[in-house]
Structure 1
């Protein structure tokens, strides 16, 4: 793909210049001064929730003829009489896994009363599932995460979440619903809140790709010019994050933070030393949850 049409269609990873591939490898080298703390590791006395095995789900109208796997964390304190909060994770297996340890963090913070009883929905991209390149190329990740429209939030709200809600009592209050992701999944999380604040009002974006992929670079301008949404936004990136022809992620996140602050949003930007990984975001995750849910507990 040439530079002339890079902004007109989804960007295939194979179309990026070799220098950008080199920078991507550098940003993913894992040499970051962060590690998980005690709130991300199992604690004696903290009741342990359950995580369902992978289930398959096929979209019927938003992304027809696609399917993806998902799993669900349910805290030990869940009571079907009382609607639980909900948090959705894009690239769900990455968040459920050992880099972030979301189920363990939830166990600990729910037990300590530092976050509400919250069900986690870990959703992987559409076919062929997890493992697709960050900027598309295989599967439906590029379409689902990088488009700046209501489609993905509508898929969650009207297709997948109702399946989960048929088994568990989930709050319909958008103040009780959060959404989280990394890279294009981080931009996707903001997109979900931006276009469907009736569904999601708490947003976490790790290394968010607010770049010229399919329009997310426009968000700082839109934030400044359009009506204010009732959103609470946590952004994280680092000095080694991507600087490629699609844009500069550290700068893009600073511009997002500045625009959100200008319009009076409740926003926090954590800027560290890391690259395009979940290492820093994982180390910060317990404190991120304390900040995100502080108005609910």
Structure 2
């Protein structure tokens, strides 16, 4: 998205954080505060896994610039964003330029552990002094690959905290059991989650599974159960290129009010239970 020259940029703050839920790890995170933030008005919240990939201006996303524009034009609410990197372990075995991380343990594990880390450790630190909505409909979570399934997992276990999910090439395969989600969606009660999935024909195909098929199985299960979802399936591979091209549309859709009639590529809104 081309940033208008007169758009006023928000503030981006960088910090380091040590975790107790993931012992002996530290991580970088960034907090984006939009231009026009006022403490007397609760802002919406969006959390991004693999945070630096989403703020790097040389990569396809460049979320701060996109948020600046969409907030200014009224296409999304005033939203504070938190960009979280995976935890780096204290004792490194790889070269310094490529530190060991707990990325797969944190992101691919099908449990509430990462949600607890966010809600009880990192977000209280990141959002200290900021007025952020506690309404789950005003709180979204996103990620790429393992970060994409992580975003879904957080909402799945804590839909009382996050009801919007944006997943780019999500790893809905059997790295750490994530391939079970289509079955769980079909067989458990509907959760109040609105989700935008993106993948492509040339997405990964490894011993853990096929990413394109995994995302197609997710979309099929969401449709079967009656979730409010969109699925952008292109021709690309396991990158953020396609996700970047549909980013503006995906954010507009994710943050818009529930439509009175479903779009052609999405089912009717679910009756939340």
Q: Which residue of 1 aligns with 2:23?
A: 64
Superposed CA offset, 1:120-163 (max 9, x none): 1000000059xx9xxxx932111100100111111111111111
Superposed CA offset, 1:77-110 (max 9, x none): 2111001001000000000113201001100000
2:169 is the counterpart of 1:169: no
- Whole-Å Cα distance in 2 between the matches of residues 189 and 179 of structure 1? 5
Q: Does the CA-based 8 Å contact 2:24-2:89 persist in structure 1?
A: no
- Whole-Å Cα distance in 2 between the matches of residues 153 and 203 of structure 1? 13
2:205 is the counterpart of 1:246: no
Which ranges of structure 1 fall in alignment gaps of 5 or more residues?
1-39
SS state at 1:262 partner: helix
2:228 is the counterpart of 1:266: yes
**Structure 1 segments of 4+ aligned residues over 4 angstroms from their partners:** none
2:197 is the counterpart of 1:235: yes
SS state at 1:239 partner: strand
Of 86, 95, 98, which residue of structure 2 is paired with 1:125?
86
Query: Which fold has the larger relative contact order, with Cα–Cα distance below 8 Å and residues 6 or more apart in sequence?
Result: 1
SS state at 1:69 partner: strand
Following superposition, the deviation at residue 44 of structure 1 comes to: 2.5
Q: Which residue of 1 aligns with 2:37?
A: 78
Q: Which residue of 2 aligns with 1:113?
A: 74
Q: Which residue of 1 aligns with 2:11?
A: 50
- Whole-Å Cα distance in 2 between the matches of residues 156 and 82 of structure 1? 23
Q: What is the count of residue pairs matched by the alignment?
A: 250
TM-score normalized by the length of structure 2: 0.88
Q: Which residue of 2 aligns with 1:281?
A: 243
- Whole-Å Cα distance in 1 between the matches of residues 246 and 36 of structure 2? 24
SS state at 1:214 partner: coil
Looking at secondary structure, tell me which structure has more strand per residue: 2
- Whole-Å Cα distance in 1 between the matches of residues 186 and 171 of structure 2? 19
Q: In the TM superposition, what are the counterparts of 1:136-285 in structure 2 within 5 Å?
A: 138-285=100-247
SS state at 2:246 partner: helix
- Whole-Å Cα distance in 1 between the matches of residues 30 and 228 of structure 2? 30
- Whole-Å Cα distance in 1 between the matches of residues 128 and 206 of structure 2? 43
Q: Which residue of 2 aligns with 1:37?
A: none
- Whole-Å Cα distance in 2 between the matches of residues 258 and 70 of structure 1? 34
2:50 is the counterpart of 1:91: yes
Which ranges of structure 2 fall in alignment gaps of 5 or more residues?
259-273
Q: Does the CA-based 8 Å contact 2:172-2:181 persist in structure 1?
A: yes
- Whole-Å Cα distance in 2 between the matches of residues 82 and 119 of structure 1? 12
- Whole-Å Cα distance in 2 between the matches of residues 75 and 121 of structure 1? 12
